[in-house]
Amino acid sequence: MNDPRQSMLPAACRLVVPTMAVLSVYLLLRGHNLPGGGFIGGLVMASALVLRTMVDPKREPKIDLITLSGAGLLVALASAAMPLFTGRTFFTGLWGGEIWLPAIGKLKLGTPLLFDIGVFIVVTAVAAKLLLVLMAQSRTRDN
Amino acid sequence: MEPFWIILAPLVASLAAPGIVRALGPGRAGVVLAAVPFWIAGWLLKDAFTGAAAAEWSHPWLPALGVDLALKVGGFERLFLFLVSFIGGLVCIYGGSYLSGDGKAARFFVIVLMFMAAMLGVIAADDLILTFVFWELTSLTSFLLVGYKFYDMAARKAALQALLVTAAGGLSLLAGLLLLTRITGETRISMLAAHSAEIAASPLFVPALLLVLGGVFTKSAQVPFHFWLPGAMAAPTPVSAYLHSATMVKAGVILLAKLSPAMSQTELWGWIVAPVGALTMLTGVVMAIYQTDLKRLLAYSTVSVLGTLVMLLGFGDSFSFKTAMFLALVHGFYKGALFMVAGTVDHATGTRDVNSLSGLRKSMPWLGVAAAAAALSMSGVPPTLGFISKELLYEAKLSLPFARHSVAALGVLANALAVAIALIVGVRPFLGGHGSAPVTHKPGPGMVLPPVVLATLGLALGLVPGLLDRVLISPAALAQGFDPKTAKLTLWHGFTPVLALSVITLLLGAAIFLRRERFAFLGRAVDAVKPLTPSAIYQSGLDGLLRAAAYLTDWIQHGQLRVYVRITLLAASLLILLGLWHAVGDFSLTTMVPPGFFETMVVLLMSVSAIAALVAKSRLAAILCLGGVGYSVAFLFVAYGAPDLAITQLLVETLTVVLFSFVILRLPQIRNISRRRTRRLDGAVAAIAGLAMTLVVWKSVHVRTHESISAGIIECSATEAYGRNVVNVILVDFRALDTMGEILVLALAGLGVTALLARKRVLSRIEDPLGEHAAAGETRPVNPHVKTR
């Protein structure tokens, strides 16, 4: 650990990883009005997760990512199915009230936002899983 | 009570079965579960006695197609519903006892009760499409039951064979039923009879009839599709007793009877249905007589009876129809009993070989009584039900408008062989001294009582045939538009030619039984023409299909990534170029805006990166250069005002480079993996793909066949979807269904990659799910295309 090359990345990560996580949520939430959204946010979040594990292989995500991707699909499906209970067709957008969030401003709540959150979860889970599996694979071959 | 309970009640019981089996053990659980079918049977019988009107129930299902969940319980349905539910109850009791030592008995009950629901549905459904759904469900549940011993290769093979034959027939049936619906515009079965003239006159009638018969003949094991039924004897005996004698194989006969008011008034019907039935009738007994396995003997004789039933329906007159109804009931009783006897004998002695069984009457007297009574009914000895049905059968044949003597002679031959079979199965094992196979476990009451009940009914009801006639048989014929007064069910018809035929049948049958060893030559004869038998043709067809599939897979899925990419690119480019050849528009440069400074620089950067990637000496450098191309594309997106795309491109490009760098260090040097010639080929392919892509982009700039939808979408996105980022609004709102499909694919891809990379761990789990086969010393076939590392 005395080698500065070995300690620089971990030190940077302590700062960068949380920032990326916050950024990903910010991108997700502002997506309806400005560049961003669930897909982009999910990729950023996945990068954060991978970076964290890259620095310290023992710090793998605690949740099973495949299960998480299924959960994301369910969230998306739930948002699509909600209008059915109000007598409207599948995937009709339902809109509710507005809330105010720092840095984002006014955010209108509705099923499309929930759907985007589902997309965010699926993309995060799958992208992170692919990279982590490959990473683990290359590590085991090293040993 | 509503008719839908008939189907719902067994399904509920099926769901409850595992819990009940766990709480009470299989033996007692069978008795408890039998209450459900017995309750249904009792209710039907009560309605039959009081002569209640037909009960109908319907609920819209696919209103746009006029398809309803329609059920009808009239006289005809009552007869078969009673048969299926009553024997079903006995099979539950019997099966519980039979499988009491088997750890998987809960599975048996779950599937048998599901099958029961499906079978009752086939009978009660009054809608063609609904009938088909239930029909397929009986095929599927039958597949699971035949393959009950899934660890046994032979059982799996037999199950697959039964499924392939009946499901192929099911497809044919579906096509036939759809044609029928197209002719009449009607899916209600009870309404079809009114359209019979229209059906017969339609040009679609012949294909419709042939397709429907394709389904009926496969399900009811008619020649040349009969071979799956003896194969299905791999199932546990309670299953054979239920599905393959009393119920499922009669589904074809039932459907034939249901459709006969609508379709039987044509010449073609008689010319196809009756001869196929007659041929099957004869084939069944001839194949049966030289068998030595109890269940195979019974299976082939069942084929024969099914042929007789089909033949009677093919005659198409009222007398024959009523006889068929009666024979179906009688056969269910005696054949169900004999199957159960065979199962009990097998269970007690461990063998079903008739040559090694004898003297069983001493150890299992009640079973012997049941066997003898059922055999008497099968042989048609007075005063059993079988005698009455045989008399009617001969009378039906003798009253044919033509060829009556030859048909009757064939009937005598078939029935005499059936008598011999009845004696071999029902009498022979119980007579004589102690056989070579001793009784090892004595059967419990649950394995003796059900066959005794069935056999006794076959005897006792023979004494009061008028009652049976009034309550079940005549209403069944009447409900399908046939005159029930033509045939009278009585024990004594007087000294008629029919009685003489009955006596001749019995004497001939006894003679055949005494000289049964002489018929072994039939077995040798069948062996001699083995490659020509339907089952051999089925087998070689299946083998050929598998070989062709393996060849095709080797050819297409060779596993060389370079060739995959080459083929994909070439095929796509070819299609694009072909499409461009015919498309409208031109390639003029006039409408093109000259690129600005920024774009020119980006394109230059991109080209330099691409060339650098090509000449790079190390993989890492090549990957980084490719990443450079990707980043340049992102710059272009920025230049043309697509920030969302640009961000996505940047992220994906970054992750790709990271991903590559994980993998690449394990790969061999670039110089080692391809020769100069291969590279030239790759270069040509790349050039063609690039050319095609350039041309299509170039041309698409000039092609605008419709008004652009961009303006509309931009306008709507703020007012209707409350969003100013149009890209995102399209993704999560306007075209959300597409996105749903995309994330589903993404999740599946993640699952696939995980499974592939973690293959070793997963495979070892798939190979031995129960952890018992390694101990049993049996090797399970694993998909040969999945190679273990």
Query: In this prediction, what percent of chain A has a pLDDT beyond 70?
Result: 93
Chain A CB contacts of B651 under 8 Å are 40, 43-44, 47
> Which of A39, A65, A93 is opposite residue B721, by nearest beta carbon?
A93
Tokens of B752: 């696939």
Q: Identify the pLDDT of residue B665.
A: 67
- Measure B724 CA to nearest chain A CA, in Å: 4
Backbone angles phi, psi at B401, to 5 degrees: -70, -20
Contact B465, B388 (CB under 8 A): yes
Tokens of B646: 């640009």
ipTM reported for the complex, 2 dp: 0.91
Q: Identify the pLDDT of residue A114.
A: 93
- Measure A24 CA to nearest chain B CA, in Å: 12
Chain A CB contacts of B655 under 8 Å are 43, 46-47, 50, 127, 131
Contact yes or no for A40 and B652 at CB 8 A: no
Q: Of all helices (H) and strands (E), which one includes residue A99?
A: strand A95-101
Strand B55-62 and strand A105-110: pairing?
A: unpaired
Closest chain B residue to the Cα of A137, Cα to Cα: B757
Contact yes or no for B750 and A130 at CB 8 A: yes
DSSP state letters, B195-237 = GHHHHHHSTTHHHHHHHHHHHHHHHTT-TTSTTHHHHGGGS-H
Contact yes or no for B728 and A37 at CB 8 A: yes
Give the residue among B128, B88, B117 at the shortest CA–CA distance from B255: B128
B405 touches chain A (CB under 8 A): no
Domain boundaries, chain A: 4-142
B682 touches chain A (CB under 8 A): no
Backbone angles phi, psi at B222, to 5 degrees: -85, 150
Entry field: residues in chain B: 789
Angle, helices B205-219 vs B128-146, to 10°: value is 30
Domain boundaries, chain B: 267-514, 523-557, 558-705
Q: Identify the pLDDT of residue B772.
A: 43
- Measure B716 CA to nearest chain A CA, in Å: 13
Entry field: residues in chain A: 143
What CATH number has the domain spanning B558-705? 1.20.120
Chain-centroid distance of CA B604 in Å reads 62
What is d(CA B607, CA B632) in angstroms, rounded to the nearest whole number?
10
Chain A CB contacts of B736 under 8 Å are 80, 91, 112, 115
Chain B CB contacts of A122 under 8 Å are 743, 746-747
Q: Identify the pLDDT of residue B88.
A: 95
Q: Identify the pLDDT of residue B786.
A: 41
- Measure B185 CA to nearest chain A CA, in Å: 30
Q: Average per-residue pLDDT in chain A?
A: 86
Which of A40, A49, A77, A139 best probes binding to B when mutated, by most B CB atoms within 10 angstroms?
A40
Contact yes or no for B729 and A138 at CB 8 A: no
Give the residue among B259, B242, B297, B253 at the shortest CA–CA distance from B276: B253
Which of B620, B728, B744 best probes binding to A when mutated, by most A CB atoms within 10 angstroms?
B728
Give start and end residues of each alpha helix (H) in chain A: 4-30, 38-55, 65-85, 111-142
Q: Which residues contact B354 (CB under 8 A, 6 or more apart)?
A: B292, B293, B294, B297, B424, B425, B428, B429
Q: Identify the pLDDT of residue B322.
A: 93
Contact yes or no for A36 and B743 at CB 8 A: no
Q: Identify the pLDDT of residue A142.
A: 56
What is d(CA B410, CA B414) in angstroms, rounded to the nearest whole number?
6
Contact yes or no for B728 and A141 at CB 8 A: no
Q: Identify the pLDDT of residue B777.
A: 39
- The full 3-state SS of B92-142, as one line of letters, equals HHHHHHHCCCCCCHHHHHHHHHHHHHHHHHHHHECEHHHHHHHHHHHHHHH
B772 touches chain A (CB under 8 A): no
Q: In the predicted model, what is the mean pLDDT of residues A4-20? A: 83
Contact yes or no for A40 and B644 at CB 8 A: yes
Q: Of all helices (H) and strands (E), which one includes residue B73?
A: strand B67-73
Contact B124, B1 (CB under 8 A): no
Contact yes or no for B732 and A116 at CB 8 A: yes
Exposure on the CB side of residue B374, measured as CA atoms within 13 A:
31
Point out which residues pair with A95 in neighbouring strands: A110
Chain A CB contacts of B634 under 8 Å are none
> Which of B652, B724, B740 is opposite residue A33, by nearest beta carbon?
B724
Tell me: the pLDDT tens digits for B717-768? 888 888 888 888 888 888 899 999 999 999 999 998 888 876 555 444 444 4
> Who has greater pLDDT, B376 or A60?
B376
What is d(CA B387, CA B301) in angstroms, rounded to the nearest whole number?
17
What is d(CA B93, CA B446) in angstroms, rounded to the nearest whole number?
6
Print burial letters for B197-224: b (CB count within 10 Å at least 16), e (below 16): eebbebeebeebbebbbbbbbbbbbbbb
Contact B342, B309 (CB under 8 A): no
Q: Mark residue B668 as left, alpha or beta (left: phi above 0; alpha: psi -120 to 50; beta: remaining).
A: beta
Which of A114, A119, A137, A142 best probes binding to B when mutated, by most B CB atoms within 10 angstroms?
A119
List, in sequence order, every beta strand (DSSP E) within B476-540.
Answer: none
Tokens of B340: 């159960």
Q: Identify the pLDDT of residue A63.
A: 87
How many other C-beta atoms lie within 10 A of the C-beta of residue B134?
A: 19
Chain B CB contacts of A90 under 8 Å are 737
Which of A26, A28, A29, A33 best probes binding to B when mutated, by most B CB atoms within 10 angstroms?
A33
Exposure on the CB side of residue B407, measured as CA atoms within 13 A:
21
- Measure A2 CA to nearest chain B CA, in Å: 25
Q: Identify the pLDDT of residue B783.
A: 43
Q: Identify the pLDDT of residue B267.
A: 86
Tokens of B370: 């049941």
Closest chain A residue to the Cα of B737, Cα to Cα: A91
Print burial letters for B635-670: b (CB count within 10 Å at least 16), e (below 16): bbbbeeebbbbbbbbbbbbebebbbbbbebeeeeee
Chain A CB contacts of B665 under 8 Å are 138
Strand A95-101 and strand A105-110: pairing?
A: antiparallel
Q: What is the DSSP letter of B293?
A: B
Upstream peptide bond of B383 is cis (omega within 30 degrees of 0): yes
Give the residue among B203, B321, B305, B308 at the shortest CA–CA distance from B259: B321
- Measure B765 CA to nearest chain A CA, in Å: 18
CA dihedral B618, B624, B630, B632 (to 10 degrees): -110
What is d(CA B384, CA B379) in angstroms, rounded to the nearest whole number?
9
Upstream peptide bond of B224 is cis (omega within 30 degrees of 0): yes
- Measure A35 CA to nearest chain B CA, in Å: 5
Contact yes or no for B731 and A40 at CB 8 A: no
B760 touches chain A (CB under 8 A): no
Q: Give the count of Cβ contacts less than 8 A between chain A and B.
A: 137
Q: Which residues contact B776 (CB under 8 A, 6 or more apart)?
A: B151
Q: Identify the pLDDT of residue B561.
A: 82
Q: Which residues contact B501 (CB under 8 A, 6 or more apart)?
A: B394, B408, B411, B412
Give the residue among B313, B225, B302, B239 at the shortest CA–CA distance from B273: B313
Biggest CA–CA distance in chain A, Å, is 65
What is d(CA B404, CA B406) in angstroms, rounded to the nearest whole number?
6
What is d(CA B300, CA B27) in angstroms, rounded to the nearest whole number?
30
What is d(CA B614, CA B624) in angstroms, rounded to the nearest whole number?
11
B744 touches chain A (CB under 8 A): yes
How many other C-beta atoms lie within 10 A of the C-beta of residue B301?
A: 29
Tell me: the pLDDT tens digits for A87-124? 888 888 888 888 888 888 888 888 999 999 999 999 99
Contact B731, A123 (CB under 8 A): no
> Which of B728, B740, B758 is opposite residue A32, by nearest beta carbon?
B728
B722 touches chain A (CB under 8 A): yes
> Which of A39, A50, A137 is opposite residue B648, by nearest beta carbon?
A39
Q: Identify the pLDDT of residue B582.
A: 77
Residue numbers in chain B where pLDDT is lower than 50? 762-789
Chain B CB contacts of A126 under 8 Å are 746-747, 749-750
Q: Identify the pLDDT of residue B768.
A: 47
Q: Identify the pLDDT of residue B506.
A: 93
Chain B CB contacts of A31 under 8 Å are 725, 728
Closest chain A residue to the Cα of B653, Cα to Cα: A43
Amino acid letter, B355: N
> Which of B655, B736, B744 is opposite residue A115, by nearest beta carbon?
B736
Contact B37, B89 (CB under 8 A): yes
